[in-house]
Amino acid sequence: MSNNTETLEGWYCFNDFRKIDWTRWKLLSVEQRLKVLEELTDLLNTWTVYEQNAEGDHAIFQILGHKADIMFMFLRPTLKELAQIELAFNKTKFAEFTVQTTSYVSVIELSNYLPKGEDPYSRPEIRARLYTAIPNKEYICFYPMNKLRSEVNNWYMLSSEERNHMMRSHSLIGRQYAGKVKQIILGSVGLDDYEWGVALFADDPIYFKKLIYEMRFDEVSARFGEFGSFYIGRYLLNEQLDQLLEL
């Protein structure tokens, strides 16, 4: 069995899901809330200045449903920087009114299909995908996934030719949604509980349903896909975060 799998890695990613203790938050006076949010805004501004140098990105999303209230998504060159970001947030007063319900650690990943000897990192179109900004779309759909390793269907016992053939068919479905859905593939083998995280971005969330449903019939998903929890969120600008927190 041939196994010539090679992946390309870009920025590391940290998805931080938080529930807000609304009962405690509502006990604060308007002045107290303003002070807490001022500190958080200062921290957000430091991240923004840092990202103006094209050294990462961040975004905040309002998560719908019981799993979380908000999600922070961070992209940075190193895990050390992500650890510093998480620590800085946990030291804020606002963090005292939140509980981290879950998190996900990964790295932007692309498959390398270029001929041997060619440096993929020298190609601008590849670098643009590995070191990308978070798409400025209104909605996000995030979920983790594995490729099955069962006795009957084991993705990793297939030859690279078989895997590549199925993935080409799989990718053709995604191309039909070009311009409607943007995607960031996040490799997490050895970094978190699943093998990949998938972040989809769209201005109309119905495309998440259509795209994922159509892919369910593709052999890659039908035979080998194993999915974790799905999270749906709405992009929040700083002023929208203030509105969410009733300021």
Q: Any idea which residues carry the catalytic annotation?
A: 143
Q: Which helix (H) or strand (E) holds 186?
A: strand 182-187
Residue 37 φ/ψ region, left for φ over 0, alpha for ψ in the -120 to 50 degree band, beta for the rest: alpha
Q: Give the number of other CB atoms < 10 A from CB of residue 157.
A: 11
Q: Is the alpha carbon torsion for 100, 17, 128, 185 positive or negative?
A: positive
Greatest pairwise CA separation for the chain in angstroms: 66
Are the CB atoms for 214 and 126 separated by under 8 Å? no
Cβ within 8 Å of residue 136, ≥6 positions away? 235
Q: How far is CA 114 from CA 60, 126, 182, in A?
A: 35, 11, 23
Q: How far is CA 52 from CA 104, 199, 236, in A?
A: 24, 22, 19
Pull the structure tokens for residue 149.
């390793």
Strands 7-20 and 70-76: antiparallel
Beta-bridge mates of residue 16: 72, 103
